[in-house]
Copies of this chain bind each other. A is one copy, B any other.
Amino acid sequence: MEGATIKEERKIVVAVDESKESMYALSWCLSNLVSHSSKNTLVLLYVKPPPVYSSYDAAGYMFYSDAVVALKKYGTDMVNSVMERTDAIIRNYGTNINVERITGSGDAKDVICSTVGKLEADTLVMGSHGYGFFKRALLGSVSDYCAKNVKCPVVIVKHPEDK
């Protein structure tokens, strides 16, 4: 037979962040990719940006410990906020899918690609931020990079408002 084999258990990674685009991508995934007849594991991957300063840097960049604590708390609050939004979306679909949550730290595109590889994921789903020319040139495109560098199928989902 020509083609792919049907796999009963699938691991789908959805890269989530605080953007509406990534929440829409999660919804799309639940509506279109998650099958009720197969066993699926949904892995929600949130990547925190790498810490630029630390309290152990050279004296010129040393932070007061209060500021370090505040920054860490902000990061944790952000993760919790994003994961709570994902929980609400998953509940809304009424599916009893197995959900895992992973928080990484570093350059989003590198962390996403390495996590997908380590997990041997079957599919990666990402929101496309639909940046304009200048922002794309400046920031690069995480979804472009991942589409080229991960081994599994990649779904790039645009938010209807970005069309």
Chain A interface residues (CB < 8 Å from chain B): 1-7, 10, 20, 23-24, 26-28, 30-33, 35-37, 85, 88-89, 92, 123, 128, 143-144, 147-148, 151-158, 163
Q: List 16 A-B contacts (CB under 8 A).
A: A2-B27, A2-B88, A3-B23, A3-B27, A3-B89, A4-B24, A4-B27, A5-B31, A6-B31, A10-B32, A32-B33, A33-B33, A144-B147, A151-B163, A153-B156, A153-B158
Across-interface contacts of A24 in B (CB, < 8 A): 3-4
Across-interface contacts of A1 in B (CB, < 8 A): 89, 92
Contact residues of A: prevailing secondary structure: mixed
| Beta-carbon contact of B155 and A153 below 8 Å | yes
17 other contacts beyond A144-B147, A151-B158, with CB at 8 A cut-off?
A2-B23, A2-B85, A3-B26, A3-B27, A3-B28, A3-B89, A4-B31, A7-B31, A32-B35, A144-B148, A147-B147, A151-B163, A152-B158, A153-B157, A153-B158, A154-B155, A155-B156
